[in-house]
Amino acid sequence: MILLFILTLIASFIVVRVGAIGFQLTGLEWSLAKFQSLSCFTGTGFTTRESELVTGNKQRRKIATGLIILGHAGFVTLVATFAGSLMPAHSVTEKIQEPLLPFSIPADLVPLVNLGILVVAVYVVYRVFSSRKYVGKLTKMLRNKLLKRELFERVSFEELLVATGGYGISRVNVSETSSVIDKGLGELQLRQQGITVLAIIRGEETIPNPAANNKLNADDEVICFGRLTDIKERIC
């Protein structure tokens, strides 16, 4: 029971991360994608405006539906395994106390021992999944697998605001084949072409008002203002 509880807890963290990556690939900003994924999985609410970002997109609705279903199943499993783990009959020390311990654990203390093991397990899992280094590697691996299997239709260009005359603020995803990779903003001369870069989003890092020597990398998200058609052709 304890092992099943730990595995379910780990699986829950991974499912939420996969959901966040899916939301990001459909065009949501990373911090918002993580929040939406956790909200759907835990069944907690979010504002009307944020819910419209999910319900108004077919792919996001599918992701949200999957997260809600898995979230309910995961919650039931966690509760059931947690309750079962506190039963004396499911002591995790049953098989190890005889060869390793010079004494046996009284039956009335078994629930407390199991509870202590669960607390330690939850803490360890939380520490691992809150480690930026580990989670960064896990996120990159999961994203590559999702892209390879083409489970989501990736959004590389999203119009955030359309103004008159074809101008607006847009978010562009730098593809791996883009000609702007490893080139500084000054070298690209985007301002001379009527394109102003407002920010660069690189993973969980945001570079506001980037300088001319800031280079663009593959998978960067670039927030910029200009003629929408020019932005898409120049940066994607």
Tell me the C-alpha distance between 15 and 12, whole Å: 5
Band (pLDDT 50/70/90 cuts) for residue 98 is: very low
Tell me the C-alpha distance between 120 and 23, whole Å: 32
**What local confidence, expressed as pLDDT, does residue 60 receive?**
86
Chain-wide mean pLDDT for the chain? 79
Task: Report whether pLDDT(131) > 80.
Answer: yes
Instruction: Tell me what the mean pLDDT of segment 107-118 comes to.
Output: 73
Query: Phi and psi dihedrals of 160, rounded to 5?
Result: -90, -30
Instruction: Tell me what the mean pLDDT of segment 227-236 comes to.
Output: 82
| Right CATH for 157-235 from 3.40.190.10, 1.20.1250.20, 3.40.390.30, 3.30.70.1450 | 3.30.70.1450
**What local confidence, expressed as pLDDT, does residue 97 receive?**
45
Give me the percent of the chain exceeding a pLDDT of 70.
79
Which residue in 135, 232, 139, 147 sits closest to 190, CA to CA?
Answer: 232
Instruction: Tell me what the mean pLDDT of segment 108-135 comes to.
Output: 81
**What local confidence, expressed as pLDDT, does residue 102 receive?**
47
Band (pLDDT 50/70/90 cuts) for residue 95 is: very low
Angle, helices 2-25 vs 58-85, to 10°: value is 170
Domain boundaries, the chain: 2-149, 157-235
What are the tens digits of pLDDT across the range 1-57? 677 888 888 999 999 999 998 888 887 778 888 888 998 898 876 655 667 677 777
